[in-house]
Amino acid sequence: MSGQNTALLARIGFVLALCLLLAISSSAFLTTNNLLNVLRQASLVFLIASGLTLVILTAGIDLSVGANVGLSACLCAVVLKASGSILLAVVAGLSCGAVIGLANSLFIVLLAIPPFIATYGMLWIVNGITYKLMSGTTIEGFPPGFRFIGSGYWLGIPVPIYLMLGFFAAGALFARHTRHGRELFAIGANPVAARLSGIPVRARLILVYTVCGAMAGLAGLVYLARLNSAEADIGDPMLLPAVAAVLVGGTSLFGGLGGLSGTLIGAVIVTLVLNGMNLMSVSTNWQPMITSIILLGAVLTDTLVRRHAEGAAK
Amino acid sequence: MDQRGPALNAAAPLPGPLLAPLLELCAVSKQFPGVKALDKVSLEIYPGEVHMVLGQNGAGKSSLMKVLYGAYHADEGEIRLRGERVRIASPSDARRLGIAIISQEFTLVPHLNLAQNIFLGRQPVGRFIGKIDHATMHRRARELLDALGLSEDTMTPAHKLGVAQQQLVEIAKALSQNARVLVMDEPSSALSDHEVEKLFGVIRRLQSEGVAIIYISHRMAEVFQLGDRITVLRDGRRVASLLPSETTPQDLVKMMIGRSVDAGYRTRFCAEPGAALLEVRGLCAANGTKDVSLVVRAGEIVGLSGLVGSGRSELVRAIFGADTVTGGELELFGAAYRPEPAEAVRRGLALVPESRKQEGLLMIHGVADNLIAAGLKILFPRGWYRAGVARRAALALIARMKIATPNPERVVKTLSGGNQQKVVIGKWLCAQSRCFIFDEPTRGIDVGAKAEIFALIEQLVDAGSAVLMISSELPEIVALCDRSYVMREGRIVGELARDELSEANILHLAMHPESGHGEHGGHAEHVH
Amino acid sequence: MANMEGMPNMSIESLPLSAPGEANWRKMLLAIPGTSLILLLLVLWFSFQGVDFAKPSNIVNIGIQSSVLLLLALPLTFILMSEGLDLSQGAVLSLASVVLAAVLAHGGSLPLALTAAAALGLLFGAVNGVFIAYLQMPPFVVTLGTLGLAHGIALVATDGESITEIGSQLPRLYKATVLGIPFPIIVALCAYALFHYLLYHTRFGSYVSAQGGNREALHLAGVNANRHLVVVYLIGGLMVGLAALLWVGRISSGHPTAGHGMEFDALVAVLLGGTRLEKGYGTMPGTLVGVLTVGVLRNGLNLMSVAASWQVVSLGVLVLAALWVESRQGEK
């Protein structure tokens, strides 16, 4: 635990250093508006990354979260336009996300397909359905009641930030302070030992992939409400930042180590970097490349740390 | 194959002093933390002999083998080949020197054909850029396989072969490298009687061609049937090297045993066992368990002995639900029970597995997290995890089990083997288990920790739990158990009551039935 | 054309089909009955849909359309056999085609452009391979990272715009025929012959199977397993770079996202071809059938005016169904 706290403090220090750097290089950075903007963007990344964190804690992966965001958002938009009912649209979006996650888990648990293959296949299936659903159109203009969850303010703070903090609290509570949450760590550390300790591994995997899918669905709704328009490809750029946020946050791709506090900071770090580039008028075209470099750097660190730890234990 | 073959053949059964040894180990030692795996072991292997190496688990047989093929590097001593000192730092060194190993784990590539497997990395290459000369390769593979009596097509992928055939292919691989020394680690353990006969035929033919064979075995019958000389290892030391004509199976068993349990003997055995806590009738499982019936009662320590590979671990895995059960009835605490780990744990059955690292522990997690891993439901019945409760439970177990750790958060990877094992046992105490299965509970553990673990096991049964214990250390079974089942080839072949429990009795049951009578000893020297 | 000479004189004796361990083509195709059957059924079904599916010109078309896919699927088969994965193929293809088109647009010669694209592919292959083999990082996340990297570089380099001024050299070559066989098909057949040769007729091929089948066997044979694993990814990168030639020829431009998703088609083709990420199992004829199945499905659905999005869904469903059937059979 103390090691993890140190790592967390190091990351917070990194965030502060990054902020300092940005504040020096751009006068626009340290404005309330921009800081709220950063947090609002980070909240979107966090919502996706939070569910993904649980999955990665079990030594799994969900590559379909970006596509899931796209389909959930588009389906929500279609339902909203067709029925006019916000409630129905939200339920449709969320359950769409959850069903995608559930399908992932069934392929992984029942067919024993490796998670990265199953969820990668799902990525393209979901993408295909989304494009078919939208058939090249854009759906725009949603009622203010719906838009509130993405672009509304409460007490001067954007609503998505409340969502981020709320789900961070809930997620951290689940991961750290419930039996099921603790079991996820055990599964990630050693699935065989976990099973032989009486932990129902399959049931827990189904749970986390479904939750991960639902969280991606929620992110889709928030994103839709903020953009106020739905297009088939809106989820595409979401996967890399989300994976990067989880790994930068210190959750190990090999499972069993990490948590949501790290992911929260990871989401902020990734967003700060992208925001800083924005402030310095760097073209958005640079974003995928920078995100990938962050991702590869985080995986490299994770791998080296793990190898070092294994070497020390021998 | 070798010009020296015929000349040596005559001398094979009794290598005279005139003949120079092919391979010599001179006072080879290998030390591991807490254990001396090999303690100044010397061994001379003559061309054309079958040298049997006998010993119980942990006697140093596998370490000896690993030193020979470069997996371990000896701390002291030297290895000489044809009188010259050689250095074996890697498997390729061993191969270059003509030493080949047939280990129990096969090194065939499942989807490559037999010829490719035999010549992997050394496939004959023709004139055209890197093109494998298939005709030559298959012809040579055919010759090798024919010589070994394997009629299988050389085009067959390796995964289609049975264990016995794969073993022959491994031998062919060794021969294709012109191996002069062949080390075989319990090659007959997975073979049927018929296949064993075939294997022996192959070995005798190799022998007649001057190949020296180091044959590691547990089976008394084949020691006398096949061996030209016998070396017995015990606790990493060479106890004796002798000719089959100089000894009897009974003597060999005595030499193999000859060690005492360092831990204290159990003082009070169970006079009146309580109710049957675990009862198994006609259990069959996909892992090779065949029609097993047994019962374990409250207050009893029941041994499960047998040779390595006799199916003991498989049996307990089936009981616990870790492997698929195909038939039979089970009762746990008097109620019917369908094997499934979650169900087993819930009902109070505990498994301390053979492999702590792979199956028992969350190596990257702390002591406390490991201790409560199986008891989460009991500690937190409402589903809320409370750090204080977890910590108190862990601290209590650490104190009770005397686990040497600076704090409950210490990562278990950094603990010693003994303390790791205590964590695994503690996990089941936390889960409030009442029927315990121990699979080799003292493997890789130092003497002091062994005594503590035995004391713990005694406490468990004194408190009314039942214990089923697998151990390859026969003295442990004899010292600790109220009675013991003996297994062979996936079946229970006998049960020994407390007053019948002796190492010799167990070994007699565990080896082939005829081994006890020494009938092969008499004519062993005539074999050839 | 090496393949034309190579095929007929492979007698049963000399054809060492290491991977499936069978002695001839017929048997090898029988070893992947599911996919051959799917291909047959698809061909029959499309033939009776009242579209121009069965016309000779369309058959040739399928061959041309499948050529790029084959160039990606062949090395991907090696990669999967080594228990690896390459998600970066599509993005690297896009980037390589941008590079190739850019060189042409700046008046560079075709060989120079091809060399540049190939070098770029090799570079990405080297990064993937070193990270995966020597640092033992999980292949999916490494190649996900290089996917983003290639995609990002292509975006930055082009500002998201196509490069269309590619001169006339390449379009002319792409349209060329030799003995009536279109250039892309010739390239694809040569590539197939090369990979078939590599897998079944060289030591390297046996190492590929051993990477996934039993790495210990390689160590014991004194083979440097890591170095050969890097070579597997290098070949993968090289082939993607070369595939850019056909890709640019086909779409007559270099576009930063045009190859997006090609890795999915390639993965589907290889999986349909029977290659699995376990025990080093994979076959070249299987991959060929897999590629043709994907090509026929895409072509047929195109003719029936089914949206590209549904085509992707059908590919995904097809491969999941195949895996499902296989797992059912495995249980029996």
Which chain A positions have a beta carbon within 8 Å of C261's beta carbon? 124
Beta carbons of C328 and C37 less than 8 angstroms apart: no
Q: Indicate if B224 and B307 belong to the same structural domain.
A: no
Question: pLDDT tens digits, residue range A116-156?
Answer: 999 999 999 999 999 989 988 889 888 888 888 888 888 88
Distance CA B441, CA B421 (A): 7
For residue B9, pLDDT beyond 50 = no
Which amino acid is residue B71, in one-letter code?
A: A
pLDDT > 80? residue B95: yes
pLDDT averaged over chain A?
Answer: 90
Q: Are residues B474 and B426 in the same domain?
A: yes
B140 located within any domain:
no
**Residue B13 to residues A25, B204, B215, B528: CA-CA distances in angstroms?**
88, 11, 15, 8
Of B224, B259, B294, which residue constitutes the final position of a domain? Answer: B259
- Please identify which residue in the block is written with the tokens 């393209």: A124
Distances (CA, A) of A232 to A133, B373, C286, C302: 8, 44, 34, 20
Q: Which of B120, B161, B324 to mutate against chain C (most C CBs within 10 Å)?
A: B120
Residue C124, min C-alpha distance to chain B (Å): 26
CB contact under 8 A, C280 and B134: no
Q: Which two tokens stand for residue B101?
A: 């190993």
Torsion of CA B399, B402, B407, B411, to 10 degrees: -130
Write the DSSP symbol of residue B20.
P
Query: B214 forms bridges with which residues in the sheet?
Result: B51, B183
Strand partners, B30: B38
In the DSSP assignment, the letter for residue B365 is S
Give the pLDDT confidence score for residue C266 in this predicted structure.
95
- Reported as a pLDDT band with limits 50, 70 and 90, residue A305 is confident
Q: Give the residue from chain A lying closest to B416, CA to CA.
A: A313
Alpha-carbon distance B133 to nearest alpha carbon in chain C (angstroms):
8
Residue B80 or residue B196, greater confidence: B80
SS3 C255: coil
A197 closest CB neighbour out of B358, B373, B387: B373
Asked which of B259, B291, B320 is the last residue of a domain, the reply is: B259
Whole-angstrom Cα distance, residue A29 to residue B481? 74
B217 and B364 housed in the same domain: no
Task: Please indicate, yes or no, whether residues B212 and B290 belong to a single structural domain of this protein.
Answer: no
* Cα maximum dimension of chain A: 63
| C11 close to B (CB below 8 A) | no
Q: In chain B, which residues touch A (CB < 8 A)? A: 320, 322, 341-342, 344-346, 351, 353, 358-366, 369, 373-374, 376-377, 380, 383-387, 409, 413-414, 427, 431
What band does A192 get if pLDDT is binned at 50, 70 and 90? very high
- The kind and range of the H/E element at C287 are helix C284-303
Q: Do the domain assignments include residue B165?
A: no
Residues B295 and B386 in one domain: yes
How far apart, in whole angstroms, are the C-alpha atoms of residue B90 and residue B100? 12
How far away is chain B from the Cα of A13, in angstroms, using its nearest Cα?
25
The predicted model gives B130-136 an average pLDDT of 88
Which residue would you say has higher pLDDT here, C98 or B103? C98
Could you write out the three-class secondary structure of C46-92? Answer: HHCCCCHHHCHHHHHHHHHHHHHHHHHHHHHHHHHHCCCCCCCHHHH
**What is the nearest CA distance from C33 to chain B, expressed in angstroms?**
18
Write out pLDDT tens, residues B315-338.
999 999 999 899 999 999 989 999
Strands A229-230 and A139-140: antiparallel
Higher pLDDT, A279 or B486: B486
Does the CB of C216 have a partner CB in chain B at under 8 Å?
yes
List the single residue in C with minimal CA-CA distance to B71.
C220
Token pair in block for residue C206: 């046996």
| Final residue of a structural domain among B202, B226, B259 | B259
Q: Which residues of C touch B157 (CB under 8 A)?
A: 18-21
Q: State the Cα–Cα distance between residues B298 and B271, nearest whole angstrom.
A: 11
| Most confidently modeled range among A52-66, B394-408, C153-167 | A52-66
Please report which helix (H) or strand (E) contains residue C189, including its range: helix C183-201
Which tokens go with B191?
A: 């073979």
Average pLDDT over residues A220-225: 94
Alpha-carbon distance B97 to nearest alpha carbon in chain A (angstroms): 30
**Is B342 in Cβ contact with A189 (below 8 Å)?**
no
Taking the Cβ of residue C10 and every Cβ of chain B, the question of whether any pair is shorter than 8 Å is answered with no
- How far apart, in whole angstroms, are the C-alpha atoms of residue A181 and residue A185? 7
**pLDDT value at residue B7:** 36
Q: Tokens for C148?
A: 């983003």
CA distance linking residue B168 with residue B150, whole number of Å: 7
The answer as to whether B423 is a domain residue is yes
Q: Are residues B302 and B393 in the same domain?
A: yes
**Residue numbers of C between 21 and 40 with CB closer than 8 Å to B:** 21-23
The number of domains in chain B is 2
Preferred mutation among C214, C218, C284 to probe B, highest tally of B CBs within 10 A: C214
How far apart (Å, rounded) are the C-alpha atoms in residues A76 and A261?
30
Residue A99 confidence (pLDDT): 97
Cβ-based contacts under 8 A for chains B and C: 104
Q: What is the pLDDT of residue C103?
A: 92
pLDDT digits (tens, 9 = 90+) for B278-323: 999 999 998 889 999 999 999 999 999 988 778 899 999 999 999 9
Is B195 part of any domain?
yes
Q: Which residue in the set B111, B122, B134 is minimally distant from C14, CB to CB?
A: B134
* Measured distance CA(A289)–CA(A282) in Å, rounded: 12
Domain covering C24-331: architecture: Orthogonal Bundle (1.10)
Report pLDDT for C6.
32
CA distance C184 to C246: 6
What tokens appear for B244 in the block?
A: 């089959």
Domain co-membership, B398 together with B493: yes
Of all residues in chain C, the one with the smallest CA distance to A295 is C145
Using CA coordinates, name the residue in chain A closest to B342. A198
Tell me what pLDDT residue B271 has.
75
Under-50 pLDDT residues of chain C: 1-23, 332
CATH number for the domain spanning B291: value is 3.40.50.300
User: Could you tell me which chain A residue has the CA closest to the CA of B383?
Assistant: A179
How are beta strands B491-497 and B483-488 bridged, if at all?
antiparallel
Pair (B255, B305) in one structural domain: no
Instruction: Tell me whether residue B137 is in a domain.
Output: no
**Contact (CB, 8 A) for B43 and B21:** no
Q: Do residue B244 and residue B323 come from a single domain?
A: no
Residue of A nearest to B373 (CA): A197
Helix axes C89-105, C110-129, angle to 10 degrees: 150
| Same domain for B302 and B238 | no
3-state SS, chain A, equals CHHHHHHHHHHHHHHHHHHHHHHHHCCCCCCHHHHHHHHHHHHHHHHHHHHHHHHHHCCCCCCCHHHHHHHHHHHHHHHHHHHCCHHHHHHHHHHHHHHHHHHHHHHHHHCCCCHHHHHHHHHHHHHHHHHHHHCCCCEECCCHHHHHHHHCEECCEEHHHHHHHHHHHHHHHHHHHEHHHHHHHHHHHCHHHHHHCCCCHHHHHHHHHHHHHHHHHHHHHHHHHHHCEECCCCCHHHHHHHHHHHHHCCCCCCCCCCCHHHHHHHHHHHHHHHHHHHHCCCCHHHHHHHHHHHHHHHHHHHHHHHHHHHHHHC
Whether residues C155 and A288 touch (CB distance < 8 A) is answered with yes
Separation CA B258–CA B235 (nearest Å): 10
- Domain hosting residue B37, numbered range: 5-98+178-259
CB A142 within 8 A of CB A77: yes
Which two three-digit tokens encode residue B455?
């004391």
Q: When comparing pLDDT for B177 and C195, which is higher? A: C195
Asked whether the beta carbons of residue A116 and residue C310 sit closer than 8 angstroms, the reply is: no
Cβ contacts of A98 within 8 Å, gap of 6 or more: A210, A211, A213, A214, A217
CA-nearest residue to B102 within chain C is C220
In chain C, which ranges are E strands? 177-178, 181-182
Q: Does A173 touch chain B (CB under 8 A)?
A: no
Amino acid at B170: E
What is the rounded average pLDDT of the residues A18-37?
A: 86
Measured in whole angstroms, the distance separating CA A44 from the mean position of its chain's CA atoms is: 7
Answer yes or no: do A196 and B322 touch at CB < 8 A.
yes
Cα–Cα distance measured from residue C301 to residue B526, given in angstroms and rounded to the nearest whole number:
78
CB C61 within 8 A of CB C116: no
ipTM of the modeled complex: 0.87
At residue C36, the pLDDT reads 79
**Contact indicator for A302, A256 with CB cutoff of 8 Å:** no
Q: Tell whether B424 and B465 lie within a shared domain.
A: yes
pLDDT at C32: 56
